[in-house]
Amino acid sequence: MEEIGATIGPVTEFLTVTDPGERVTVVRHYFFADVLNMDLTRRNGPEMGDPDIGDFSPVRVALEVPAVASLELQPPELADYLRDHVRSWRA
């Protein structure tokens, strides 16, 4: 996870979203992982030098439905999945 300078633990895919297009089908995979450590001084990658593609600063979010719902996540399938499952992660 070079964008946030993190070392992550076990990774598990939890959602695949497929968007069939007229010429290209886009498949996006989403994963769970534990953040074992994070050092923002280790951030690197080509996207870090291009502010037009976004901000890669970590944001901590409470594992609560209102907090997750307030993020305006995209695509909608990801937002729905997270909102529907966030309660089970607190256990």
Q: What is the pLDDT of residues 42-68, one digit of tens each?
A: 887 777 777 787 777 788 888 899 999
Gap between the Cα atoms of 65 and 78, Å rounded: 14
Q: What is the pLDDT of residues 64-88, one digit of tens each?
A: 999 999 998 999 999 999 999 988 8
Gap between the Cα atoms of 22 and 76, Å rounded: 20
Gap between the Cα atoms of 49 and 24, Å rounded: 28
Gap between the Cα atoms of 85 and 90, Å rounded: 10
Mean pLDDT score, 31-37:
90
